[in-house]
Amino acid sequence: MASSRAVSSPRARAGRSGAAASSTIPRVKTPPGQKAGQKKRASDGVGRRRAPAKPVRPAASARGTGRGAAGARGAAGGRGASGGAGGARPGSNGRRPPRPRGGSRRLSRTTIAVLVVVGLMVTGIGGLTAAYFWAASGITSSMLAQPPAPLSTLDLYTPEQRANAETIIDVASAQGLGDDAATIGVMTAMGESGLRTIDYGDLAGPDSRGLFQQRDNGHWGTLEQRMDPVHSSGMFFRDLQKVPGWQALRPTEAAHAVQLNADSEHYTKFYGPARALVVAILDERAGRSTPTPTILPTEAPVS
């Protein structure tokens, strides 16, 4: 009896108690597709998944390098500690640096050197070209130093105007009149037609024609005669000599007495240019040098 009741070990007693307990607990049927081990782990709570812990962002240094923050952000995105292809750049605190406006970029030293060389070449070629044409033109520095020749009175008028002025002077001389009468005749022609033989009139005299704008009233001749500078000048001096005391009158008054212009002072502004032109023509004929004109080109009759 003593041998049959031998005291069993604690491990054996635990095994028997576990077998007895397991015999009393009803078996739970395992659903299809699930293993027994998975059921036990689910019941024990051993196989539960934990939520991934949030990465702790290391504090940036006082210098603001931000290398640790960039690495943490890259690890959270699964691209490596260094940020990988989409990581932030060092020194930007996790942000991309702003691009310069307008897409401007600094020129490299090589580009600047090339531009300087090209500029010097262009300047040198331009200087050589200018020097070549300067030498080929035959212009010397002494020529440039000389002042231009003064403009003479005769240069202010066209060949037609000069020819008509000479005709008036010749007709006055043929009728025994002097330079004063010739000046009045040139002054009148300047005020009427600009020393040109024109074939049209104006609002005051639509039928006026010729150098002195003489009307078609039978007093000055036919149209052909009025368009002839010699005939029209002769008709003007003929009527001028009929004016009593015309030599004592002012030139514009003497001309107005013949032409009967609406404005008796119309010819005043033409007396100075007419006198200079008559003197220049007479000096040229006498072989004398023509003095420099004292009137401006703008004061000459405008065609």
**What per-residue confidence (pLDDT) applies to 109?**
78
- How far is residue 290's CA from residue 162's CA, in Å, rounded to a whole number? 14
Helix (H) or strand (E) holding 10: helix 10-24
How does pLDDT run across 98-131, given as a tens digit for each residue?
Answer: 665 554 556 677 888 788 877 877 776 776 776 6
**What per-residue confidence (pLDDT) applies to 163?**
96
Question: Can you tell me the mean pLDDT for 203-219?
Answer: 92
User: Which of 92-101, 246-255, 291-300 bottoms out in mean pLDDT, i.e. has the lowest?
Assistant: 291-300
Q: Please, what are the domains in the chain?
A: 154-299 (1.10.530)
How does pLDDT run across 16-30, given as a tens digit for each residue?
Answer: 555 444 445 555 555
Q: State the residue for tokens 């060389």.
A: 117
Q: Where are the alpha helices (DSSP H) in 80-149?
A: 109-137, 141-145
Q: Is pLDDT of 214 > 70?
A: yes
User: Which of 47-51, 133-137, 194-198, 295-299 bottoms out in mean pLDDT, i.e. has the lowest?
Assistant: 295-299
**What per-residue confidence (pLDDT) applies to 227?**
96
Check residues 143 and 297 and name the one with the higher pLDDT.
143
**What per-residue confidence (pLDDT) applies to 72?**
42
CA atoms within 13 A on the CB side of 53: 3
pLDDT confidence tier of residue 153, bands split at 50, 70 and 90: confident
Question: Can you tell me the mean pLDDT for 31-38?
Answer: 55
Alpha carbon of 292 to those of 149, 152, 209, 276, 280: distances in Å?
Answer: 10, 5, 34, 10, 9
